[in-house]
Amino acid sequence: MDNNRTRAWRLAQKKRNRARDSHPPRSDFPKEKRWKLMYIRSEKLARAAQLGMDYPRVRNGLLARRAMEEYKPERSLYM
């Protein structure tokens, strides 16, 4: 039996197949894209930033109240 598979042959095979083995393994579970199925707050915050959405949503009444508090004239203590 003639066997020409020397160390040099094995190194050449390794070099030839290196590109095939260099890709990272694919995750079994891809990231969730549907908003309804995202459960973790940090994931929702990151996804909302990507989409340009405001999250968590703040009601208009609360926004108006906060704006009014910001622009309330401050009482001065000067008499």
Query: How is the chain split into domains, by residue range?
Result: 33-71
pLDDT at residue 55 greater than cutoff 80: yes
What percent of the chain is modeled with pLDDT above 70?
A: 86
Residue-level length of the chain: 79
The confidence score (pLDDT) of residue 6 equals 93
The confidence score (pLDDT) of residue 1 equals 55
pLDDT one-digit tens code per residue, 19-54: 777 777 776 777 778 888 888 889 888 888 888 888
Distance CA 55, CA 48 (A): 6
The confidence score (pLDDT) of residue 8 equals 92
Distance CA 59, CA 52 (A): 17
